[in-house]
Amino acid sequence: MTAWHQLYSMNNEQERRPLSRATLGRIAAFARPHRRKVLLFLLLTLVMAALAVVAPVLAGRVLDAIVKGDPFGVVAGLAGVIALIAVAEAGLGLLTRWLSAGLGEDLILDLRTAVFDHVQRMPVAFFTRTRTGALVSRLNNDVIGAQRAFTDTLSSVAGNVVTLVLTLTVMIGISWQITLLALLLLPIFVLPARRMGVRIARLRREAADHNAAMGNQMTERFSAPGATLVKLFGRPARESAEFAARARRVRDIGVRTAMTQSVFVTALTLVSALALALVYGLGGFYALRDQLDPGSVVSLALLLTRLYSPLTALASARVDVMSALVSFERVFEVLDLEPLIKERKGAVEVPEGPVAVEFDDVRFAYPAADKVSLASLEEVAALDSRGGAEVLHGVSFRAEPGQMVALVGSSGAGKSTIAQLLPRLYDVDAGAVRIGGVDVRDLTADSIRDTLGMVTQDGHLFHETIRANLLLARPEAGEADLWEALTRARLAKLIESLPDGVDTVVGERGYRLSGGERQRLTIARLLLARPRVVILDEATAALDSTSEAAVQEALGEALQGRTAVVIAHRLSTIRAADVILVIEDGRVAERGTHAELLEAGGRYEELYRTQFADPTVAEAA
């Protein structure tokens, strides 16, 4: 709960910030493509505000015509004009609503697309730090909150200002004395509106925070690995109690918000009724003394009912505007995070044909949190200040076309980091990583993706069909291509036995398949992509012996004729490598073939002896 208190405090600080010109400028930039719709929307809003003032004036003239005994035609004509105004208001209301809905949905589309595309360009470090639920909230809750600035706040402020000015002008023209006396009740009306508006906004903000917390909890606990973790090590009762506590808080806030609004509306209705009684009483006094027409009294009373509503809205307009701006700023926070990996202008394609892979005196440190993340997305008070410590120190090696280079070493030595630099998931701090003799920073992202294929330890799959997961690698692949990849990955018989075949949904992260089946499916995806360079990052580390044997067969197909960088804890997977690199503390400690390194009697020999202490295992290997 301390973390949520800190987050709540940060949000309150955000609400108290002054209006930012930069934020307003960026909002205008998003609105610029829709400026014609915005201008028409505002124009129609102003026309509707003017018509709302005209109707009460005409109603008063109808009463005057009746009292004076004017011909029926005059009364009927005025009634007809009032009817036309009502029809015009209804039609304009529908048109305004159509424009409002269109503007809102266009803005949601623009903001969501901008955020989604921007997040896609963020480095892997961003996703390793960010809470998924918090990021999804930016794409949903905050984008919709920003959209209300156009569909609700903008029209409300513009329409209420015009209505207020016109209403006061007409009322003063009819009787400035009565208008002045009616406005004496204004402070009783406006001051509570400001206080209540701020209080309701604060309650809604707190409710949104708790809803976000529940969303995060559900996102993590309802995934297959999350649910498994809770069942194995968690306390379901405690999880339920935490969720129920947040849900009860949201319920309590909902009741408080409803009662606050109800008390506020009741009090304002009472004040409005008192003001109306004042108009009728004082207006009647002037009418009986022939100082005011009866119709003018009715017009004043009707106009008064249209005076307090815009006053209330404008009194809390700053709260509404600030709430909308906070949503915009939270969206812009994500858009302002600079992607660390950028494609250079004039980037070239990877050269055709077989390619070599080269690391040239590579030095690398994982980026600090402030370069890749936000405290609000991690849901912490302040970002972790650690980071920037070098983890690779002058790593150099070369894999010739068609050659296999194997990386071995202790956990945390830097093997996976090396693998992540090759597809440019991160950029080096010094030195260079080259594919086909070209620095990866000078290559286009698409050509790197087409050239490299990677299989990781977890074998991640999307909650989609087998077909969709395979086509991720090559969308244009045909049915024959799919089955060829599945056959080479030793999966064709299994897929044929499934009721829906390649259209079988694999479940979240592929959890409807076994570990070995998931891994072979990721290898099938790799084979379908037909990369020229293959990276295997401990692709068999989490498998049992039976599954490993099947996966090893599939890997043999995947590696055939390709340049390969293989990382493994199990030395049996890399004994046939052309070159073996022993990575320790971010450096290449030893290099050579399997036989050469065993003969040298160094770290590799120690690793080999430790893993194959059982002679039967060594003989089988």
- Residue 211 pLDDT more than 90? no
Position 421 pLDDT exceeds 80: yes
CATH class of 21-335: mainly alpha
CB 271 within 8 A of CB 188: yes
Residue 194 has pLDDT above 70, yes or no: no
Nearest alpha-carbon partner for 12 in 249, 375, 314, 322: 322
Position 127 confidence tier, pLDDT thresholds 50, 70, 90? confident
pLDDT exceeds cutoff 90 at 617: no
Position 357 scores a pLDDT of 93
Categorize the per-residue pLDDT at 318 as very low, low, confident or very high, splitting at 50, 70 and 90: low
Q: Do the beta carbons of residue 447 and residue 350 sit within 8 Å? A: yes
Tokens 């000015």 belong to residue: 165
Distance from C-alpha of 521 to C-alpha of 510, rounded to nearest angstrom:
9
Q: Which of 553, 550, 592 is nearest to 575 (CA)?
A: 592
Eight-state DSSP code of residue 498: S
Beta-bridge mates of residue 399: 357
pLDDT of residue 393: 92
Q: What is the pLDDT of residue 13?
A: 40
Q: Where are the alpha helices (DSSP H) in 289-356?
A: 294-305, 308-315, 317-335
* 8 A C-beta contact, residue 178 and residue 285: no
Q: List the domain boundaries for the chain.
A: 21-335, 357-620
| 177, 118 contact by CB (below 8 A) | no
**Is the pLDDT at 363 greater than 80, yes or no?**
yes
- Tokens representing 265? 């509306």
Per DSSP, the residues of 176-230 read: HHHHHHHHTTHHHHHHHHHHHHHHHHHHHHHHHHHHHHHHHHHHHHTSHHHHHHH
User: What integer best gives the mean pLDDT of the chain?
Assistant: 79
Range in 253-262, 414-423, 546-555 the model is least confident about: 546-555
Cα distance between residue 362 and residue 567, in whole Å: 18
Residue scoring higher pLDDT (415 or 5)? 415
Q: What is the pLDDT of residue 12?
A: 43
So what's the pLDDT on residue 5? 37
- Same CATH topology for 21-335 and 357-620: the answer is no
Residue 140 has pLDDT above 70, yes or no: yes
Q: How far apart are CA 80 and CA 57, in angstroms?
A: 14
d(CA 351, CA 336): 34
Question: Does residue 597 register a pLDDT over 80?
Answer: yes
How many other C-beta atoms lie within 10 A of the C-beta of residue 474?
17
DSSP 366: P
User: Tens digits of per-residue pLDDT, 141-179?
Assistant: 778 777 776 666 766 777 778 888 888 888 888 888 888
Average pLDDT over residues 188-215: 70
Separation between Cα atoms, residue 26 and residue 47, nearest integer Å: 28
Distance, CA of 601 to CA of 199 (rounded, Å): 73
Q: 354 in the Ramachandran plot: left (φ > 0), alpha (ψ -120 to 50) or beta?
A: beta
With b for 16 or more beta-carbon neighbours within 10 A and e for fewer, the 406-428 pattern comes to bbbbeeebbbbbbbbbbbbebeb
Q: Which of 367, 321, 404, 323 is nearest to 579 (CA)?
A: 404
Q: Count how many Cα atoms sit within 13 Å of the Cα of residue 479 in the half-sphere of its side chain.
A: 3
Alpha-carbon gap, residue 548 to 541, rounded angstroms: 8
Which of 159-163, 301-305, 372-376 is predicted with the least confidence, judged by mean pLDDT? 372-376
CA atoms 69, 74, 75, 78: torsion sign: negative
pLDDT band at 547 (very low <50, low <70, confident <90, very high): low
CATH 1.10.10.10 fits 357-620, yes or no: no
Task: Give the separation between CA 228 and CA 426, rounded to whole angstroms.
Answer: 31
Contact present, 569 and 599 (Cβ < 8 Å): no
Give residue 149's pLDDT: 67
Share of the chain above pLDDT 90, in %: 10
pLDDT at 222 over 80: no
- The strand pair at 579-584 and 587-592 is best described as antiparallel
Q: Give the pLDDT confidence score for residue 551 in this predicted structure.
A: 66
Element (H, E) at 525: helix 515-529
Region 313-333: mean pLDDT is 73
57, 398, 404, 456 from 581: Cα distances, Å: 90, 11, 11, 19
What is the per-residue pLDDT for 618? 45
Phi (first) and psi of residue 603, to 5 degrees: -65, -40
